[in-house]
Structure 1
Amino acid sequence: MIERHDTVVIGGGQAGLATGYYLQQHDQDFIILDASDRVGDAWRARWDSLQVFTPARYSSLPGMDIPGSPYAFPTKDEVADYLETYAQRFDLPVELGVRVDGLERSGNGFLVTAGNRRIETDNVVVAMASYQVPTVPDFAAELSNDIVQLHSIDYRNPDQLQDGDVLVVGAGNSGAEIALDVADGHETWLSGRDVGHVPFHIDSWVGRYLGVPFVMRVLFHRILTTGTLIGRRLRPKVLSQGGPLVRTKPSDLAAAGVERVPRMTGVRDGRPVVGDDDVLNVENVIWCTGFHPDFSWIDLPIFDGKEQPKEPVHVRGVVPDEPGLYFVGLFFLYAMTSGLFTGVGRDAKYVVDHLTSTARQQPPRRNYTESVAGLPQQS
């Protein structure tokens, strides 16, 4: 049997729930499909000490504040429980344990498949983050079998490591925070280039009341967008290299005894090589080398062949060549905050406004602009 819904949202994380909230405000017929067993499981599966980078006042979805002090930094479990409560409070139609494995055109609409399920729909919102498939360099397979290797997606706490030294590969936010997490019990090296850092401590008085509001609500949210020249110029670099360190500072790493070393370049005799020729005799390697999106299940001509891995061509989440198809939750979809709670609500509102408006009949301009096909600008 073929099911029928006006809109199918694929992904039940913060992007999918925010999209569902706005669809509900428009009294739309929709379902949200998610492969997890519980709402928020993607957060529960992160490392134990993880906290979000933004205080609670900037870490909420539309319509419901996250509990606790507005200036506290929620833990990953607090975020997971908040998302579950959010879905329950608004009675969002989330169907769990459903992994979508196909999306294609069907007449004027789409056909979504998930195992034996077949769902016809007019609109599809792909509400998935860019961080889907963990990446490690090919030479990881050359490391000795006596070295414990973990990717950041599998790291939970230092108890997973064996005795001995640790090399953390990748010096972005995840790498820096995990290096601090393991440094108490292990000699720790952090490999990778300096990505820079915000010039204040986010949990200080200056950070909570001045720095974070400026960076998250002004710089990352309004200035660094695809609607500004500086945002369009910076976006390719940020997509390929990531952003600056937010919570961790170089001085924090030095104080914890974490030694910075150049990027890992290969393997010799089963041991990692950093820089030109330095071999590190470590017992553990943690790969904080990022992720790439996996849209191989989408059978539609929407991908830019110049990008590897391929990402969809869109304008603020609206796919020009496939009316009715939208994306929310991608890193820098519209702004630096698009992958954060700060920005995902705005992006969700934008695509739902487009989905429910007459403007969706007109394809948006292919260059990045502040508005799409006559839609009113949104702050």
Structure 2
Amino acid sequence: MNRTIVIGAGQAGLAAGHQLTRHGLPFTILEADHRVGGSWNHRWDTMRLFTPATKDGLPGVPFPRGDRFPTGAQMAAYLAGYADRFGMDVRTGIHVDGIFRDGERYTVTAGSDRFEADNVILATGAERVPNVPSLAADLSPAIAQLHSGAYRNPSQLPPGAVLVVGAGNSGADIALDLAPTHPVVLAGRHPGHIPPRIESPVMRVGFRFLAFAWTYILTEDTRPGRASREKVLSGHSGPLIRVKPQDLDAAGVRRAPRVTGVVQGLPQTEDGDIHDVATVVWATGFRPGYEWLSLPGLDTSGGLENHRGAVVGQPGLYVLGQLFQYRFGSHNLVGVPHDAEMVVADIRRRAGRGVSVAGAARSR
């Protein structure tokens, strides 16, 4: 029987594991971290999800009742329990460093370990490699620098002013976390561009309904979905969800436009201000990071071209949890289970010697 290797034990990898288990297909999940949960084990201490707990569960196991918006640590614990609940074969501490194809089969390597498979699902996260602008190299060595992916709490930073670069959700959250202990400036393309607080209960319910509806309605098969997908993949971040302008103001966080250069070792923003700071936190996002793949004909310069998760030109290779992979919510807990269904459906077709989605995409 065909065997599948799933790389990554976050929500995408476990959603795939659930579908594979459901259909009796053998699989092994490989996770580089020493714990199930992937990057959820390495978020900042005060980080909370934007979706309520009622929407954060994977198929078959509701998220435990408790805090309305779970922390990253609570999500990691939930995922570990989920893998145990279904008896998934998850091997942690396995850092995959290569995938090679021999005919219709794949060899997955992790140091001296080798795994043979008919199918490989890359569930390594929407974007996994920290993105830091090149001008970071021009900053004074006296300025401490770290990426949001490495940020845990204010005690990591030396005393003195902090410039948080990137006015998206992560940047705003980190700026608020730092404000009680450090003077903070939040710099970004649209600083403070945050939806107004919705006071009416009816409006709040309507807004939440629309927010979750977008996850299902906006797909690559619809015209609005294709337009949204183009914006998302071109780097246009969405609106800030939890933080409000008054929250930043009350905490004493100053706002500035985006950083455009370095003057005498100090960061300069678009308005010409030069910021004499002790630390810069780069909340500038991540990039896909598939360069370690070396399969013939595979373009790894960005997100892998795929049709409903099946990588075009690579039969048996799949992605899961990519940014707007098929639908607006493909990368999050609300959307990834539906994409996992499509991926495993294609694996079942391959096992039954049917035509794969990727093959159909190539023939169009």
- 1:67: which partner in 2? 64
Which SS does the other structure have where 1:125 is aligned?
Answer: strand
Query: 2:270 aligned to 240, 263, 275, which one?
Result: 275
Distance 1:99 1:336, change over 3 A: same
The separation in 1 between residues aligned to 2:38 and 2:308, in whole angstroms, is 27
Deviation at 1:41, TM superposition (A): 4.5
Q: Structure 1, residues 314-341: CA drift from partner, whole Å, max 9, x if none?
A: 0121123222111101111112211110
The separation in 2 between residues aligned to 1:167 and 1:266, in whole angstroms, is 14
- 1:193: which partner in 2? 189
1:230 paired to 2:227 = no
The separation in 2 between residues aligned to 1:325 and 1:182, in whole angstroms, is 42
The separation in 2 between residues aligned to 1:48 and 1:29, in whole angstroms, is 36
The amino acid that maps onto 1:320 is V
- 1:97: which partner in 2? 93
Deviation at 1:32, TM superposition (A): 0.5
Distance 1:201 1:285, change over 3 A: farther
The separation in 2 between residues aligned to 1:34 and 1:166, in whole angstroms, is 34
- 1:88: which partner in 2? 84
Which SS does the other structure have where 1:68 is aligned?
Answer: coil
- 2:30: which partner in 1? 33
The answer (yes or no) to whether the contact 1:54–1:212 under 8 Å persists in 2 is no
The separation in 2 between residues aligned to 1:158 and 1:10, in whole angstroms, is 32
The answer (yes or no) to whether the contact 2:313–2:359 under 8 Å persists in 1 is no
The separation in 2 between residues aligned to 1:303 and 1:276, in whole angstroms, is 42
Deviation at 1:232, TM superposition (A): 0.8
Q: Structure 1, residues 114-167: CA drift from partner, whole Å, max 9, x if none?
A: 111222211111112132111111221222222221110111111112222111
4+ residue segments displaced more than 6 Å: none
Structure 1 range deviating more: 85-94 or 188-197? 188-197
Deviation at 1:212, TM superposition (A): 2.4
Give me the CA root mean square deviation: 2.3
List gaps (5 residues or longer) in structure 2: none
1:310 paired to 2:302 = yes
List gaps (5 residues or longer) in structure 1: 374-379
Structure 1 range deviating more: 191-200 or 5-14? 191-200
- 2:286: which partner in 1? 291
The separation in 2 between residues aligned to 1:231 and 1:200, in whole angstroms, is 26
The answer (yes or no) to whether the contact 1:265–1:276 under 8 Å persists in 2 is no
The separation in 2 between residues aligned to 1:355 and 1:200, in whole angstroms, is 45
Deviation at 1:366, TM superposition (A): 3.7
The separation in 2 between residues aligned to 1:292 and 1:20, in whole angstroms, is 25
Structure 1 range deviating more: 185-194 or 249-258? 249-258
The amino acid that maps onto 2:43 is R
Distance 1:29 1:283, change over 3 A: same
Q: How does 1:173-192 map to 2 (within 5 A)?
A: 173-192=169-188
Which SS does the other structure have where 2:207 is aligned?
Answer: helix
Deviation at 1:49, TM superposition (A): 0.5
Distance 1:264 1:362, change over 3 A: closer
Which SS does the other structure have where 1:111 is aligned?
Answer: strand
The amino acid that maps onto 1:42 is S
Query: 2:151 aligned to 148, 155, 162, which one?
Result: 155
Q: How does 1:247-262 map to 2 (within 5 A)?
A: 247-262=242-257
- 1:24: which partner in 2? 21
Deviation at 1:242, TM superposition (A): 2.0
The separation in 2 between residues aligned to 1:68 and 1:109, in whole angstroms, is 43
Identity %: 45
Q: Structure 1, residues 216-253: CA drift from partner, whole Å, max 9, x if none?
A: 2x02x122221211111121221212222111123322
The separation in 2 between residues aligned to 1:284 and 1:5, in whole angstroms, is 51
The TM-score normalised by the length of structure 1 is 0.88
The amino acid that maps onto 1:264 is V
Which SS does the other structure have where 1:156 is aligned?
Answer: coil
Which SS does the other structure have where 1:340 is aligned?
Answer: coil
Distance 1:194 1:206, change over 3 A: farther
The amino acid that maps onto 1:353 is A
Which SS does the other structure have where 2:319 is aligned?
Answer: strand
1:48 paired to 2:40 = no
The total of aligned residue pairs comes to: 359
Structure 1 range deviating more: 284-293 or 139-148? 139-148
The separation in 2 between residues aligned to 1:361 and 1:331, in whole angstroms, is 22
